[in-house]
Amino acid sequence: MTELSLPARAYLLACDTARNRLPDRERVALLVRAAALTDLVLRGQVADDGGRPAVTGAGGTGHLVLDDLLAELTAEPHRKWRAWVRRGARGTLHSLEAQLDAAGVITLRTSRVLGLFPRRRPEVREPASAAALRDEVRAALRGDAPVSADIAALTSLAAAVELGDVLPRAERRRHRDRLARLEEQAGAAVPALRKVIRELRAARTAAISAASGGGGG
């Protein structure tokens, strides 16, 4: 899978290949968006400039999702990392899925919930390769040896978005120092993603609490 972009590998990392689904499309969309930002950092085409991603490299990457994001960053350079993780995340996810489907990496099936609401279900064409990617990320977290920048980034991103079936919470806590070292290789999009996930979790908790309070009244 080395020929795939970082957001493509992050997407495959999140896929539940046994059930042909994503655990949480909203979180995976944020993961993919942050992975695209991180990929541009690792390629030397984006750098941190006072808390904002700044385009530094010329030319395209050959990956449509990354090139689209580069164009967005160039057009609106004032936004901070956290805003870029959120902004356009759903569209980036849809675009990536369409490309992976066209490339034969996944088969994207659409069903309807209650016959009304469309639901996308990805079937990974090579589940063994996806499983190997998960093993590589887990080994990066548990080990002490240096790892490549892209694997360090994938591990950091998976931890930040709280992919529990890939990196369980207990593992993330146990290897907190290791995660901090890996994150140093990944760049500013990872802590931005973590903040967005915390905000999302807090908003969901507040909504559940409000609904419970409303029901009790």
139 pLDDT band (50/70/90 cuts)?
Answer: very high
Pairwise CA distance, residues 175 & 79, whole Å: 32
Judge whether residue 209 has pLDDT over 50: yes
Taking only the tens place, the pLDDT of each residue in 181-207 is 999 999 999 999 999 999 998 988 888
Backbone φ and ψ for 142, nearest 5 degrees, come out as -80, -20
Query: 6-14 and 64-75 helices cross at what angle (nearest 10)?
Result: 110
Judge whether residue 121 has pLDDT over 50: yes
Per-residue model confidence (pLDDT) at position 1: 47
- Mean pLDDT, the chain, rounded, equals 92
- Token digits for 41? 């950092």
Per-residue model confidence (pLDDT) at position 46: 96
Answer yes or no: are the C-beta atoms of 66 and 38 closer than 8 Å.
Answer: no
Q: Residues with Cβ < 8 Å from 52, sequence gap 6 or more?
A: 77, 78, 79, 80, 81
- Is the pTM above the cut of 0.85? yes
Pairwise CA distance, residues 49 & 122, whole Å: 36
Judge whether residue 2 has pLDDT over 60: no
